[in-house]
Chains A and B, each alone.
Chain A
């Protein structure tokens, strides 16, 4: 295998892994945030080495401050849950 082929393989692998991660975060924001919180929690635990703990803190998912009302593609950064989450689901009920 030539040097070019080796570098090419590494670059393509990196690009594909990063793309998979971006797609995962954008399409499943809550699941990816939970995953990151778990990974971050396990790294940032008492007794771990300082660099690992620092990495854990860096990986901690940030609290989103955006708003779904901001428009298309903003759902990955939705803010606090809508009040409707506490409300009853919307269903059609015939008028009495």
Chain B
């Protein structure tokens, strides 16, 4: 161990606050939430302690035991045992334990103690323990365990001060390793004995939690509450965002007019700025408020502790279709983005269950679909009120989200039938205490999401929009051409070619062009449509009015068909890359891409043909 630097690993049961502590120590902004299984990979950070010593902090996935049953738990075990490739064993292990649930968390502390490495026990969430009337004799607990014990409140500023002082001022001492081969039952007995001497508490759970859970976990009322909550979220996405969206749209249009006024109207540079940047990027940028409203709700639900309850409610249904209850969190994460969702499947022990979850995760409606959905809904679905209170556009959005969930369950059921086996796993999941979401954390989370979105707009979306503009502009129209110039360009010809394949599902050549760059990321299709239509028309106002334009040019069956396409189509190369990475198999990528594109085409075909017959 170097005197000037120290490698410290944060370990503990899931959802005990390791990542919140990691963020406190390193100033990092790793994702935290109030449910088990948020961290599934090893994260590293460092900070300079008051003494000037450099502390390297490892944040490891939570685990209940060193007998790893899932890939994320294996990472923690391997790091602690010094078996992780390219990584030395940590100099000091900080065991983080939820002070309100020591009966469960101390068992793992005893396991870690047996490693014979320097240990500090951080009793986290001490504020919540005190609120519940728990009294913990910290000195006695330290004496009984034979390790230093400090109190922390990881979610409060300065809540890790005692831990910093402890690990900075004291050279870690080796904890004597227990050499007896104790069984799980003996560990539990030891935990009970220690708690009997060191902890006084009147009840195991918080009274407030029990009162809320009586309603939220009720088989009937619980489902009603869950459905109402989801419905409210999608209503809010449509209703609350509109004024800000209108403002952004007007701002982009004004900026576009001002910037392009310095250039000759028929120049290529004018076209690049007007048709490429302002029409393309502007049509994606306006969806930022809707995305932030959706994430506001997701973050509040994540912090509150409600999500594991929803997993519990839906477990029976998920089990029937062949998904393990543990698939709920990965699938829910996929509503934000399929990539972390697929990564989160590492917490699923059974490889077959994990693969099923990975294959259906892209069907969850990620936030990148939102610009496509809302563009089409706003253009083709009237914004009238139904049943007195509901916004029809919000109802349609809810239906699209539900279609994604339903198709994921259906595909999982088909995979279950093909597997010809029965899953044996029951859902065992810790229900965390309810917590009032911290406004600062929510604000930071929204800021991060806004930055991610803006970086995408300014990065890959901008790059592909410029390339699409180039392909839509060159070669130029020949002498005496009667059609718009784009018809003679590379992109125009490609679109006409693809139209043969996609005309049975109602897609015109402009949509076909947009689908190609849209393979990189779903929102790119909106930017591409903006550029293609801006270049097809002569009116500059097209740049900021994509919605009204397509509502005049497309039929309703075409719009519905495109919506159906986006429910299924894997228009995201990053998702396919992560499937390859997580399954270590190109075959699985081919299966996922094949069945998703197949479903997308069939769904669009059925939607278009049926809609044409009835509308």
Contact = CB atoms under 8 A, between A and B. Distances in A.
B460 A22 contact: yes
Q: Which of A67, A85, A87 has the most CB of B within 10 A?
A: A67
Interface stretch (A38-46, A49-57, A74-82): A74-82
A95 B423 CA distance: 9
A72 B456 contact: yes
Given A68-B578, A84-B584, A73 B340 contact: no
A91 B418 CA distance: 13
A87 B352 contact: no
Q: Closest 9 A-B residue pairs measured CB to CB?
A: A89-B585, A72-B337, A22-B463, A19-B466, A19-B463, A90-B583, A95-B421, A75-B574, A23-B463
Interface residues of B, number: 58
B121 interface: no
A84 B580 CA distance: 10
Contacts of B573: 27
Nearest to A87: B584
Interface in B330-353: 336-337, 339-340, 343-344, 351-352
Interface string B248-268: 000000000000000010011
Interface residues of A, number: 40
B606 interface: no
A94 B367 CA distance: 35
Interface in B22-49: 31, 40-41, 43
Interface of B: 31, 40-41, 43, 71, 74-75, 85-86, 264, 267-269, 272, 336-337, 339-340, 343-344, 351-352, 354-355, 358, 366-368, 415, 418-422, 452, 455-456, 459-460, 462-464, 466-467, 470, 520-521, 573-574, 577-578, 581-585, 587-588
28 contacts: A11-B269, A12-B269, A19-B467, A20-B467, A22-B462, A23-B464, A26-B460, A26-B520, A27-B573, A68-B340, A68-B578, A69-B339, A70-B452, A71-B337, A71-B340, A72-B337, A72-B367, A73-B460, A73-B574, A83-B74, A83-B75, A84-B584, A87-B71, A89-B587, A90-B585, A92-B352, A94-B420, A94-B421
Nearest to B87: A80
A26 B456 CA distance: 10
B337 A8 contact: no
Contacts of A78: 581
A88 interface: yes
Given A67-B43, A75-B574, A8 B452 contact: no
B578 A75 contact: yes
Given A23-B463, A73-B459, A83 B581 contact: no
A27 B520 CA distance: 7
Interface in A13-50: 15-16, 18-20, 22-23, 26-27
